């Protein structure tokens, strides 16, 4: 199967500060969970943001779903790759859980009826249906995390990049989240999950990438 | 500039700039203050152009608010009319420009303050007999400005990743999008406020009547010069703007 995301000798340096990512080449596939691990400051978040197009590499090429990523505007990338920030508060905007899913669909021209239908379906799937009138910012961390997932999946991306999604969740909530991620993967989507959690790495990963000082040092299981 | 400017001098300067820009009504004088603020910021080593590049979205947001204000101001001097509705009027444009510059000066002032270490700022305020609690809160709030900018940037990205093209938002949806964009910022400022409160309590605020001070600031000749200059120039400037 053709890889969904291909990085070729990608490098990046922050305009301020010393850190740089150098010469990363990587293929990421659908249908599998790739765990990205490494010490704090090793460049995991930076790598995720580069793949998303939030940061633009200084050299190298990135191909997403067969398209040169330079040709994709940020507002078109969300339907290719879904991205969850380390802090879910950064990506919750509305006054109700339901609206969080429907508003981008409506703005892009979907009919209200179709958008509502889609939201109902997604909230059901992510066990949020009973919270649909609640204020997203007031949800628990785990609920916020699921809402972020539901809202990025509303755009039907082929891949997900999740930056430490288990932060702030207790053991049981983590297990629930991981099972959900596994289900999604079985449905065919692929994901790169930045995670330190051994429970996740050992039991759910199809592939483990280890980063250090801005480089991929180990790639395998 | 080898010599470091005292945070109190900056406070006076910033107070002068912000009060001037709020008092003065004449458009040319408002523009003048904008130019002065930017010049001061550059002298204080605020990396203004770098900031503008990174946060140009915020400027666009401010610009949009100004534009909306300009459009909704009615006046006899109609410059542009569409289907019998006046879109741009002379007064509207003036008001828009003033709003834009006022917000810009306030932002620039925040940037000028954030070039000082916050401990120094607090100390400066205390030496002026401002209660420590208030000094602490004020300086800490100023330090949050860059953090807000960063959070705002992230939320901008998140909205675009939801498929929203800022260049092509349907006209009727613009307000809605801006409300969405401000929501995470407002909520996070409430959260930061709570953090400040906790930080203050854990440092034993109010537990002792008097605090021991290690760092003592000394105003130098140059500081007095800048302060006196700022106040004098402001008074002259405001007076002139009233006369002309
Ligand atoms: N905006 C930035 N400007 C300069 N340096 C940064 C910026 N963001 C992160 N860094 C630096 O880049 C390095 C890698 O950060 P990051 O990718 O967040 O690591 P990780 O997610 O693996 O902890 C760190 O040393 C960090 O200090
Ligand atoms: Mg990180």
Confidence of residue A68 (pLDDT cuts 50, 70, 90): very high
Q: What ipTM was assigned to the predicted interfaces of this complex?
A: 0.89
Q: Cβ contact (<8 Å) for B163 and A155?
A: yes
Each residue of A103-122: pLDDT tens digit? 999 988 899 999 999 999 99
Looking at residue A98, what is its pLDDT? 96
Looking at residue B23, what is its pLDDT? 83
**Dist. CA B118 → ligand 2 center (Å):** 27
In a domain, B1, yes or no: no
* Structure tokens, B218: 């000394």
Chain B interface, best mutation among A48, A53, A90, by max B CB count within 10 A? A90
Q: Which residues of A touch B163 (CB under 8 A)?
A: 75-76, 78-79, 104, 107-108, 155
Each residue of B165-186: pLDDT tens digit? 877 777 777 778 878 887 887 7
- Residue A66 Cβ inside 6 Å of ligand 1? The answer reads no
Q: Which ligand is nearest to the CA of A47?
A: 1
**Dist. CA A166 → ligand 2 center (Å):** 12
**Residue that is written with structure tokens 């039907």 in the block:** A156
**Residue A69: which of A1, A127, A10, A152 has the closest Cα?**
A10
Q: Give the integer Cα–Cα distance in Å for B148 and B154.
A: 10
Domains of chain A: 5-220 (3.40.50.300)
CB atoms within 10 A of CB B189: 15
In a domain, B128, yes or no: yes
Between CA B114 and CA B120, with CA B119 as vertex, the angle to 5 degrees is 75
Looking at residue A2, what is its pLDDT? 85
Which whole number is the average pLDDT over A56-76? 93
**Dist. CA A18 → ligand 1 center (Å):** 9
**Residue A194: which of A6, A52, A79 has the closest Cα?**
A52
Q: Residues 6 or more apart from A176 whose CB is under 8 A from it? A: A142
Considering CB atoms only, which of A74, A92, A94 is closest to B161? A74
Q: Residues 6 or more apart from B95 whose CB is under 8 A from it? A: B69, B70, B73
- Check if the beta carbon of residue B38 is closer than 8 Å to that of residue B155: no
**Residue that is written with structure tokens 């009504």 in the block:** B25
- Check if the beta carbon of residue A192 is closer than 8 Å to that of residue A161: yes
For B32-46, B71-85, B95-109, which range has the lowest pLDDT when averaged over its residues?
B71-85
In a domain, B180, yes or no: yes
Q: What whole-number percentage of chain A has pLDDT above 70? A: 100
- The residue contributing the CA closest to ligand 1 atom 26 is A41
Count of domains observed in chain B? 1
Each residue of B185-223: pLDDT tens digit? 777 777 776 777 677 677 766 666 666 666 677 777 778
Burial A114-129 (b: 16+ CB within 10 A, else e): ebbebbeebbebbebe
Looking at residue A24, what is its pLDDT? 95
Q: Which residues of A touch B173 (CB under 8 A)?
A: 107
Please tell me the distance in Å from B198's CA to the nearest CA on chain A: 20
Provide the domain limits for residue B194: 7-243
Q: Give the integer Cα–Cα distance in Å for A127 and A143.
A: 9
- Check if the beta carbon of residue B11 is closer than 8 Å to that of residue B38: no
Q: Give the integer Cα–Cα distance in Å for B159 and A92.
A: 9
Q: Which atom of ligand 1 is nearest to the CA of A43?
A: 17
Q: Cβ contact (<8 Å) for A91 and B158?
A: yes
* Structure tokens, B62: 């401010």
Examine the pLDDT at B3 and tell me if it is beyond 60. no
Distances (CA, A) of B67 to A85, A110, B30, B32, B98: 32, 29, 17, 20, 11
**Dist. CA B161 → ligand 2 center (Å):** 19
**A206-210, B3-7, B36-40, B164-168: which has the highest mean pLDDT?**
A206-210
Q: Between A and B, how many CB-CB pairs are < 8 A?
A: 69
**Dist. CA B105 → ligand 1 center (Å):** 31
Q: Which residues of A touch B181 (CB under 8 A)?
A: 93
* Structure tokens, B117: 């270490």
Q: Which is higher by pLDDT, B216 or A53?
A: A53
- Check if the beta carbon of residue A216 is closer than 8 Å to that of residue A210: yes
Looking at residue A59, what is its pLDDT? 94
- Residue A17 Cβ inside 6 Å of ligand 1? The answer reads yes
Quick one: three-class SS letters along A129-156? HHHCCCCHHHCCHHHHHHHHHHHHHCCC
Measured in whole angstroms, the distance separating CA B226 from the mean position of its chain's CA atoms is: 20
- Say yes or no: A54 contacts chain B, CB-CB below 8 A: yes
Phi, psi angles (nearest 5°) of residue A195? -155, 145
Q: Which residues of B touch A139 (CB under 8 A)?
A: none
Q: Cβ contact (<8 Å) for B160 and A74?
A: yes
In a domain, B29, yes or no: yes
Q: Give the integer Cα–Cα distance in Å for A108 and A95.
A: 19
Interface residues on B facing A, Cβ-Cβ cutoff 8 A: 50, 151, 154-155, 157-166, 169-170, 173, 176-177, 180-181, 183-184, 187-188
| pTM listed for this prediction | 0.70
Q: Residues 6 or more apart from B25 whose CB is under 8 A from it? A: B98, B241
Confidence of residue B2 (pLDDT cuts 50, 70, 90): very low
**Residue that is written with structure tokens 């932060």 in the block:** A167
Which whole number is the average pLDDT over A43-60? 94
In a domain, B124, yes or no: yes
Q: Give the integer Cα–Cα distance in Å for B54 and B68.
A: 24
């Amino acid at each position: 199967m053709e890889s969904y995301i291909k990085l070729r000798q990608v490098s990046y340096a922050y305009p301020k500060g010393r850190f740089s990512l150098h010469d990363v080449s990587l293929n990421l596939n659908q249908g599998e969970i790739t765990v990205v691990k490494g010490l704090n400051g090793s460049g995991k978040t930076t790598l995720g943001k580069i793949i998303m197009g939030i940061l633009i590499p200084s050299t190298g090429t990135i191909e997403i779903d067969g398209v040169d990523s330079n040709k994709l505007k940020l507002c078109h990338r969300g339907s290719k790759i879904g991205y969850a920030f380390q802090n879910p508060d950064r990506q919750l905007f509305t006054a109700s859980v339901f609206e969080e899913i429907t508003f981008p669909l409506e703005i892009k021209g979907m009919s209200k009826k179709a958008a509502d239908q889609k939201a109902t379906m997604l909230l059901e799937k992510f066990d949020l249906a009973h919270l649909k009138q609640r204020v997203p910012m007031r949800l628990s961390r785990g609920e916020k995390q699921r809402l972020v997932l539901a809202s990025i999946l509303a755009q039907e991306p082929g891949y997900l990049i999740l930056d430490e999604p288990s932060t702030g969740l207790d053991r049981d909530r983590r297990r629930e989240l991981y099972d959900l991620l596994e289900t999604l993967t079985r449905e065919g989507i692929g994901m790169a999950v930045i995670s330190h959690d051994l429970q996740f790495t050992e039991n759910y990963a199809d592939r483990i990438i280890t980063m250090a000082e801005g480089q991929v040092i180990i790639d395998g299981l | 500039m080898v010599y470091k400017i005292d945070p109190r001098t900056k406070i006076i300067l910033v107070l002068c700039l912000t009060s001037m820009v709020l008092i003065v009504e004449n458009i040319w004088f408002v523009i003048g203050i904008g130019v002065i603020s930017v010049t001061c910021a550059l002298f204080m080593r605020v990396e203004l152009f770098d900031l503008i590049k990174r946060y140009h979205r915020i400027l666009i947001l401010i610009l949009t608010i100004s534009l909306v204000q300009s459009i909704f101001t009615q006046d006899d001097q109609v410059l542009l009319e569409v289907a019998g509705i006046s879109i741009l009027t002379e007064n509207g444009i003036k008001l828009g420009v003033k709003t834009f510059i006022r917000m810009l000066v306030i932002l620039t002032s925040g940037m000028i303050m954030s070039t000082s270490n916050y401990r120094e700022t607090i100390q400066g305020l205390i030496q002026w007999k401002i209660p420590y609690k208030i000094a602490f809160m004020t300086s800490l709030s100023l330090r949050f400005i860059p953090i807000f900018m960063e959070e705002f940037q992230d939320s901008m990205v998140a909205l675009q990743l939801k498929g929203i093209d800022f260049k092509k938002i349907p006209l009727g949806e613009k307000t809605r999008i801006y409300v969405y964009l401000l929501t995470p910022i407002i909520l996070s400022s409430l959260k930061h406020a709570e953090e400040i409160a906790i930080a203050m309590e854990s440092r034993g605020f109010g537990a002792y009547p008097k605090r021991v001070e290690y760092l003592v600031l000394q105003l130098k000749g140059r500081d007095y010069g800048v302060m006196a200059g700022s106040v004098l120039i402001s008074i002259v400037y405001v007076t002139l703007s009233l006369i002309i």
